[in-house]
Amino acid sequence: MATVTGVREEIVPVGGGRLDMRVQVRGSGPPVVFLHPAGGFAWDPFLETLSEQRTVYAPLVPGVSPADPDAIDEVRDLFELVLYEQEALSALGLEGADLIGASFGGMLACELQATFPGMFGKLVLFSPIGLWRDDAPVTNWMMTAPEDFPALLFADPAGEAARAMLTLPDDPAARADAIAAATWAMGCTAKFVWPVPDRGLDRRIHRITAPTLVIWGRDDALISSVYAQEFGRRIKGARVELLDGCGHALHIEREQETLALVRAFLA
């Protein structure tokens, strides 16, 4: 993926100076917060385009930044992560900002909204994890062999979107670092969802008061689209949109449709 220009990083001390939250920022216009999925953060085409009209703030889960991998040791559990995220967003003056969360980030966005009802703006969820049905278990992505990842994330694993996201650098060292970074990011985020991505959100999700849009790919192989309705009926007034021919990484695979839905909803 080509390097995206105009990105800056805010370093925000949280937890009484215990650790720094790193927040990537790009664009102009009203702020929107993007909470990244389990595999880490990248300025993908969706976010790049979104940042043309909005200022996108992307807080990284501690440890996910290769500049400070040990930061994950300073976060004990999901509750602390939620507090640190809120502290960082508040410090950046982002109370009232809309939240978009993808997959793991979707769960985190729900936790923020449920813990601090009314503090943030609208809520957009891209195939979030966080709920559990025994009859539709979330695929164990940690046990998935690397070669099976494309089919886990995309309805069309051979498609252009999948290739653009998953193609690794040619340079062997850069390639090694990219795999290491994604693996470590999954390790950091797993701390809050492993081994079963159910940390009791079901018992708090009713506290969410924000207008909510839930988007899901009908062909999601990681977490079945039956969960779209699970989120939809638990969050009062939530709107649910299902995308045809679309897998888990929906804002990559259906970038334009997702952008249109998000822009209209946040307008």
- Give me the residues that bind other proteins (CB under 8 A), please: 63, 66, 69-70, 72-73, 76, 142-143, 145-146, 172-173, 175-177, 179-181, 183-188, 190-191, 194-196
Q: How far is the CB of 193 from other proteins (least distance, A)?
A: 9
Q: At what angle do helices 104-115 and 78-91 cross, to 10 degrees?
A: 80
In the bound state with other proteins, the residue whose beta carbon lies nearer, of 63 and 232, is: 63
Q: How far is the CB of 75 from other proteins (least distance, A)?
A: 10
In the bound state with other proteins, the residue whose beta carbon lies nearer, of 78 and 242, is: 78
In the bound state with other proteins, the residue whose beta carbon lies nearer, of 176 and 260, is: 176
How far is the C-alpha of 210 from the C-alpha of 124, rounded, in Å?
Answer: 10
Residue with tokens 């109370």: 95
Q: How far is the CB of 195 from other proteins (least distance, A)?
A: 4
Residues 6+ apart with CB under 8 A from 158: 150
Q: Are 52 and 23 in contact (CB under 8 A)?
A: no
Select from 208, 197, 59 the least CA-distant residue to 128.
Answer: 197
In the bound state with other proteins, the residue whose beta carbon lies nearer, of 87 and 177, is: 177
In the bound state with other proteins, the residue whose beta carbon lies nearer, of 152 and 261, is: 152
Coil vs helix vs strand at 152: helix
How far is the C-alpha of 197 from the C-alpha of 38, rounded, in Å?
Answer: 11
Q: How far is the CB of 189 from other proteins (least distance, A)?
A: 8
In the bound state with other proteins, the residue whose beta carbon lies nearer, of 8 and 76, is: 76
How far is the C-alpha of 252 from the C-alpha of 267, rounded, in Å?
Answer: 21
Q: How far is the CB of 130 from other proteins (least distance, A)?
A: 16
Select from 116, 92, 111 the least CA-distant residue to 33.
Answer: 92
Radius of gyration of the chain (CA): 17
Q: How far is the CB of 173 from other proteins (least distance, A)?
A: 6
